[in-house]
Structure 1
Amino acid sequence: MLDKKVSDLINEQITKEFYSAYLYLDFSNYYYDQGLDGFAHWYDIQAQEERDHAMLMRTYLLNNGVKVEFDVVPKPDKTYSTPLDPLEAGLAHEQEVTRLINCIYRAAKDVDDFRTMQCFDWFVKEQGEEEKNADDLIKKYKLFGGDPKGLYALNQELLARVYTVPSLVL
């Protein structure tokens, strides 16, 4: 049986992962409204990844005999004035998720819960990738977004993104 603090943190994180999906769908809606379908597509895939993260954590809890308790997923409350705004909000959000994942990992480490630590090794690595991708997207936008041809090319690049199912074995 998992430590109560660890399982409570994972239960809370499930809701936060679903919030991440809502937030990224909100970003996507903004980009569709702006005519940037590639940016929208990129965040549609981000939303799918976040839903998958929530489901992986749910499965982990269920596989360890823990009751999963869903909480209310808050509505995103961000407003965007420029196409750069969601990109910067996305990086800040990923940094916060990294902090939350680290808290779960630390709680598992504190009680010698090596199984949870091993599972969350994947999420720690994933967060490094998420932060790098968000930062790279900001850099690309700052380099190319001010030029219509550059923005078009970047939008096309993002439109080509293909969803990959996570490979975490629980």
Structure 2
Amino acid sequence: MISKDLQKALIEQLNKEYHSAYIYLGMSAYCSKEGFNGAANWFLIQYQEEVSHGMKMFKYLEDQDVAIELPEIKAVKVEYKSLLDVFKKSLAHEQSMTKNLNNLSDLAMKDKDHATYSLLQWYVTEQVEEEATVGEIIDHIKLVGDNGYGLYTIDKELAGRSFVDPTA
């Protein structure tokens, strides 16, 4: 049985997963508007991944017989300064999600809720990949600076990303 405090925290995290999806949809919209269609695709795939993360948590809560509430998802901004800025904001967001998931893991261990802790470790591991991937993209954008051909090449590489459900 999941404690009431942990149930509440997991429902908050569920909301954060869908808010993340919304953030990435906004980032995709920005990139599309700026002509970075490859980056727009990359963020659209990121949106799909976040939705799948939310569904994984939703199903877990259902399986644990938790009464699920769906609070409002906050609006997100869709304006950024540059391609580098949007990816830096993405990394900062992933780092905040990592912190949230680590705090949830601590709470699950405090409650000696091994099933929930096990679930959360999947998310924690996923965060390592998320941060590393975005960090590498930032490094590449910094390497080319404002060079149009360099940005074009990076954007073309980002276009090659396709959705693979990480929860499957």
Note whether the superposition's TM-score is higher than 0.5. Answer: yes
Q: CA deviation at 1:152?
A: 1.3
Distance 2:30 2:123 in 1: 28
Distance 1:26 1:145 in 2: 23
The CA RMSD over aligned residues, in Å, is 1.2
Say whether 1:59 aligns with 2:59.
Answer: yes
Report the equivalent of 2:96: 96
Report the equivalent of 2:14: 14
The 3-state SS of whatever aligns with 1:44 is helix
Q: CA deviation at 1:167?
A: 3.4
Report the equivalent of 1:155: 155
Report the equivalent of 1:5: 5
Query: Would you identify which runs of 4 or more consecutive aligned residues in structure 1 move more than 3 Å?
Result: none
Q: CA deviation at 1:78?
A: 5.6
Amino acid at match of 1:74: K
Instruction: Name the % identity.
Output: 36
Say whether 1:37 aligns with 2:40.
Answer: no
Say whether 1:114 aligns with 2:114.
Answer: yes
Q: CA deviation at 1:145?
A: 4.4
Q: Which runs of 5+ in 1 are unaligned?
A: none
- Could you list the per-position Cα deviations for residues 114-135 of structure 1 after superposition, in whole angstroms to 9, with x for gaps in the alignment? 1111111110000111111111
Q: CA deviation at 1:37?
A: 0.3
Q: CA deviation at 1:150?
A: 1.4
The normalised TM-score by structure 2 is: 0.96
Distance 1:139 1:10 in 2: 33
Q: CA deviation at 1:154?
A: 0.7
Number of equivalent positions? 168
1:131-142 mapped onto 2 (5 Å cutoff): 131-142=131-142
Report the equivalent of 2:69: 69
The normalised TM-score by structure 1 is: 0.95
Contact 2:27 2:43 in 1 (8 A): yes
Q: Which runs of 5+ in 2 are unaligned?
A: none
The 3-state SS of whatever aligns with 1:134 is helix
Contact 2:53 2:167 in 1 (8 A): no
Q: CA deviation at 1:79?
A: 3.0
